[in-house]
Structure 1
Amino acid sequence: MKIAFISYEYPPDTAFGGIATYVRQAASMLSQRGHQVEVFAGGRESDGPLTTHTTLEAGVMVHRLQGVDRSGFPARVGRVFCDRHRALQFDVLEGPDCGAEAAVALRYVPDMPFVLKLHTPQYVLELLGNPLQTWQAKTRMTLGALRRGQWPKRRPPYDPAADPECRHAHEADEVAAPSQAIGQRILTDWKLDPALVASVPYPYLPSPDLLAIPLDTDTQVVTFLGRLELRKGVVELGKAIPAIRRRHPQVKFRFVGPAWNSPRPGLNMQQYLERTLPRHRSALEFTGGVPLDRIPHYLATTDICVFPSRWESFGLVCTEAMAAGRGIVASSAGGMAELLDQGRVGRLVPPRRPAPLARAVIDLLDHPQQRQELGRAARDRVLSHYSLEPIGALQEASYRRAIARRQALGTRSVSDRTTAEMAWMDAIADPTPSPSPQGL
């Protein structure tokens, strides 16, 4: 098959999170399985002219749109993709839910078979973000509004019909969910046809460095991997640290990732943890963001990884810890429960609950042999369930279904779109012609 991916996020230029990691892994997997794969991604922003640089990277053709920010990406990439499709005739296109990044491309190529890959839609992020506001902040906002003679504003209820990401999902010929948890949530909230939603987990191709890490480490280090932000459960981990160190005072806590928001205005998460845990500051290590090739080094000097997210659609950092054979404590909310086989290869704890989180970490510290057995089982599971062969077959079948459905339905009709949708499409469309690709 000739397969195209549209994704603003793609390493190294726009490697912001899990979407970038997924697209690179999926593109590599499909290329290794004999398909022709091209990726249309964001590039480095600049004040210079808009250009498209095309390079061949490990068998995958990558078109990087330089000088465009995320908001302008859908319009630019739609035109670039259309030009390339005229020359190559792709069989299928995949794009992310986030930002409806392939919407303009489908406007230009309405007969294109399209697979929407679920990650975490914006409305889910907003729903997760709203409860994270502290009661003190909510009180300040309420009193401030009353002092100004205004009623406090409440967030309007979520309206799927007004959500461009939801409308984009209804254009898809297949909606591929990396976990049953996110698939069921979207199926219900967006009222999708159940026949269009399929479970297609992210592929994971672990590096040899991760697989070479011995299981029987004794580092007394607990590591968190990921962005240091509220929805990742970092606050709850901070609250669990005193209880863990009362039982194991020698344990250190390492935070690998950039520091984002905290409950306290003006403080990022690293500053917040340092101020709220003054008696334990000597036990805290913050690395900031690190290159992907440095992850094996940090996991090799770790006994336990903790992922207490308030919600995760999948959890790629969890697969890295599984490949490294680490003891894992993770949230039961979302896709990591499926990764860890409902707790058979790691400990699951309820989200937003520091006490059960502390008990699970303490239990693995108390029982190193059990931790190592769980690490071995986790490594075996990630290799058997998420490697190239099983996920590659699922992804290929997903594309074939999308192609068959679009052939049966024919060309998408622009007239089927609502007035609101067309207004949104026109608002993001870029009237300037796309530049010719460079670098071929």
Structure 2
Amino acid sequence: MTSPHTHRTLRVGIVCPYSFDAPGGVQFHIRDLAEALINQGHEVSVLAPADDDTPVPPYLTPAGASIPIRYNGSVARLTFGPRVAAKVRRWLNDGQFDILHLHEPMTPSLSMLALWLARGPIVGTFHTALIRSRALQFVYPMVRPSLEKFSARIAVSEDARRTLIDHLGGDAIVIPNGVYVNTFTHATPTPQWQGTPDAPTIAFLGRLDEPRKGLPVLSQAIPHILTHYPNARFLIAGKGDEGKRHAEQQLSNHLTNVEFLGAITDDEKASLLTSVDLYIAPQTGGESFGIVLVEAMSAGTTVIASDLGAFERVLDNGQAGYMFRTNDPNDLARAVIEALNNPTERTQRTQRATEFVQQFDWKEVTTKILTVYEMVLSASTALGKVTEDPSALTHPREAS
């Protein structure tokens, strides 16, 4: 897919349904997309839930406080209601956007409100990947009349595309999440996070309170790994006091080998991933892509991941990392020991990952998204000409 040669500056409005008070994968995707578009000279405004005192980038318009709601197997911070709808309408009117890009528009938050209120070219990006979703079944009647307003749909993975088809009908083009590959490739290692062949360092990064992120699976695997590598160190990064307490109970006899780092900054994450020997992704479900896998691959770190469909595709069907049976701590331990026992094989898979990950660089991803924008705008312009001259519907040659 190649981008059309265009030099025009676009005014792009991007709507994020989830709060920047507690950012996650979708928020980071939107932030990076906005900055990639701005770096190419486009004008971008992002609308997202955020408290007035939350630090946000200058291109982001806060839409006010959000409330935590359990949604699609996680806790999402959303905002809704008439007052919020008024803010969305004002933002749309002020922006006069060439194209509106809504993320997760099936989530009852800002994107859904914008879909109801907006006119003109609209692109939707769908991130969610679930086999069955009661939440999507619940909101479908609310948005069904508005689905035809989409000029184009994007899914961040084949799994997200399948969820969209199964729950909403229609189809979408797959454009993966993006990563600034060089940020991780050139990150500076932190000495205390680096390991040795006899004392490797193994990292986990994720919300500790969400069981589907897989920390309990890793915790159960750690004792078995330590029987083979008694000096191994496990670096666990992420928020979640309850999850941390549960892990400490599980690992009560092995806590000298485990360090909880708490929340870390983006720079610290890049340094962590380039420092450690292995990155573990033990998620148990609900993953549409696996952005942190791509970040670890970019950093040159060996990835060991559960065999979720999304992870298999990111790891080139296991050729760019190691896979283990989802929710199986014994098989996770087996994969870790196999990787540590065979440094030559591990190096080969890591080199494959370094090549494979280039397709996820924001330079490539932004080009594909801009191509969708241009296709949508071209179709909109053509439709506008037809509408102005109804004879074009029956006499296209005369209209041209």
TM-score by length of 2: 0.78
| Equivalent in 289, 306, 310 of residue 314 of structure 1 | 289
Instruction: Tell me, yes or no, if structure 1 residue 83 matches structure 2 residue 83.
Output: no
Cα deviation 1:126-172 (Å, max 9, x = unaligned): 96xxxxxxxxxxxxxxxxxxxxxxxxxxxxx7772654686465653
Q: What is the identity, as a one-letter code, of the residue corresponding to 2:320?
A: V
| Equivalent in 61, 64, 68 of residue 63 of structure 1 | 61
Report the more deviating stretch, 29-38 or 398-407: 398-407
Q: What is the identity, as a one-letter code, of the residue corresponding to 2:344?
A: Q
| Equivalent in 256, 260, 265 of residue 291 of structure 1 | 265
Answer yes or no: is the 8 Å Cα contact 1:326–1:372 preserved in 2: no
In structure 1, what is the equivalent of residue 160 of structure 2? Answer: 182
1:76 Cα shift?
4.9
The percentage of counterpart residues that share the same residue type is: 26
Report the more deviating stretch, 80-89 or 345-354: 80-89
Q: SS in structure 2 opposite 1:338?
A: helix
In structure 1, what is the equivalent of residue 236 of structure 2? Answer: 255
| Equivalent in 200, 225, 249 of residue 220 of structure 1 | 200
In structure 2, what is the equivalent of residue 364 of structure 1? Answer: 339
Distance in 1 (CA, whole Å) between partners of 2:312 and 2:142 is 26
Answer yes or no: is the 8 Å Cα contact 1:43–1:65 preserved in 2: yes
Answer yes or no: is the 8 Å Cα contact 1:213–1:325 preserved in 2: no
Instruction: Tell me, yes or no, if structure 1 residue 193 matches structure 2 residue 170.
Output: yes
Answer yes or no: is the 8 Å Cα contact 2:15–2:111 preserved in 1: yes
**Cα gap change, 1:373 to 1:166, in 2 (>3 Å):** farther
1:325 Cα shift?
0.5
Instruction: Tell me, yes or no, if structure 1 residue 160 matches structure 2 residue 140.
Output: no
**Cα gap change, 1:331 to 1:170, in 2 (>3 Å):** farther
Consecutive unaligned residues of structure 1, counting only runs of 5 or more, are: 47-51, 128-156, 261-267, 411-440
1:241 Cα shift?
1.3
Instruction: Tell me, yes or no, if structure 1 residue 173 matches structure 2 residue 151.
Output: yes
Q: SS in structure 2 opposite 1:29?
A: helix
Instruction: Tell me, yes or no, if structure 1 residue 274 matches structure 2 residue 281.
Output: no
**Cα gap change, 1:202 to 1:354, in 2 (>3 Å):** same
1:289 Cα shift?
1.4
1:209 Cα shift?
5.5
Q: SS in structure 2 opposite 1:241?
A: helix
Cα deviation 1:82-122 (Å, max 9, x = unaligned): 3344344211111222335222223332x23222211227x
In structure 1, what is the equivalent of residue 47 of structure 2? Answer: 40
**Cα gap change, 1:54 to 1:325, in 2 (>3 Å):** closer
Q: What is the identity, as a one-letter code, of the residue corresponding to 1:181?
A: D
1:213 Cα shift?
5.4
**Cα gap change, 1:283 to 1:82, in 2 (>3 Å):** same
Distance in 1 (CA, whole Å) between partners of 2:278 and 2:356 is 17
1:33 Cα shift?
2.4
In structure 2, what is the equivalent of residue 245 of structure 1? Answer: 226
Q: SS in structure 2 opposite 1:43?
A: coil
Instruction: Tell me, yes or no, if structure 1 residue 6 matches structure 2 residue 4.
Output: no
Instruction: Tell me, yes or no, if structure 1 residue 305 matches structure 2 residue 286.
Output: no
Aligned residues: 355
Q: What is the identity, as a one-letter code, of the residue corresponding to 2:161?
A: G
**Cα gap change, 1:76 to 1:55, in 2 (>3 Å):** farther
Distance in 2 (CA, whole Å) between partners of 1:244 and 1:193 is 46
Distance in 2 (CA, whole Å) between partners of 1:243 and 1:118 is 39
1:372 Cα shift?
2.8
Cα deviation 1:29-79 (Å, max 9, x = unaligned): 112223211111222257xxxxx99963xxxx2212344555435755543
1:210 Cα shift?
4.1
Instruction: Tell me, yes or no, if structure 1 residue 388 matches structure 2 residue 355.
Output: no
Distance in 2 (CA, whole Å) between partners of 1:117 and 1:350 is 30
Distance in 1 (CA, whole Å) between partners of 2:57 and 2:239 is 29
Answer yes or no: is the 8 Å Cα contact 2:125–2:155 preserved in 1: yes
Answer yes or no: is the 8 Å Cα contact 2:17–2:103 preserved in 1: no
Q: What is the identity, as a one-letter code, of the residue corresponding to 1:247?
A: H
Q: SS in structure 2 opposite 1:279?
A: coil
After TM superposition, the structure 1 = structure 2 runs for residues 128-147 of structure 1, keeping only pairs within 5 Å, are none
Answer yes or no: is the 8 Å Cα contact 2:278–2:303 preserved in 1: yes
**Cα gap change, 1:372 to 1:212, in 2 (>3 Å):** farther
Answer yes or no: is the 8 Å Cα contact 1:233–1:351 preserved in 2: no
**Cα gap change, 1:89 to 1:158, in 2 (>3 Å):** closer
In structure 1, what is the equivalent of residue 23 of structure 2? Answer: 16
Consecutive unaligned residues of structure 2, counting only runs of 5 or more, are: 1-9, 68-76, 385-400
Instruction: Tell me, yes or no, if structure 1 residue 331 matches structure 2 residue 306.
Output: yes
Answer yes or no: is the 8 Å Cα contact 2:187–2:271 preserved in 1: no
Q: SS in structure 2 opposite 1:380?
A: helix
Q: Which has the higher contact order (CA 8 A, sep 6+)?
A: 1
In structure 1, what is the equivalent of residue 121 of structure 2? Answer: 113
**Cα gap change, 1:164 to 1:234, in 2 (>3 Å):** farther
In structure 2, what is the equivalent of residue 102 of structure 1? Answer: 111
Distance in 1 (CA, whole Å) between partners of 2:272 and 2:136 is 43
**Cα gap change, 1:71 to 1:209, in 2 (>3 Å):** closer
C-alpha RMSD over aligned residues:
3.1
TM-score by length of 1: 0.72
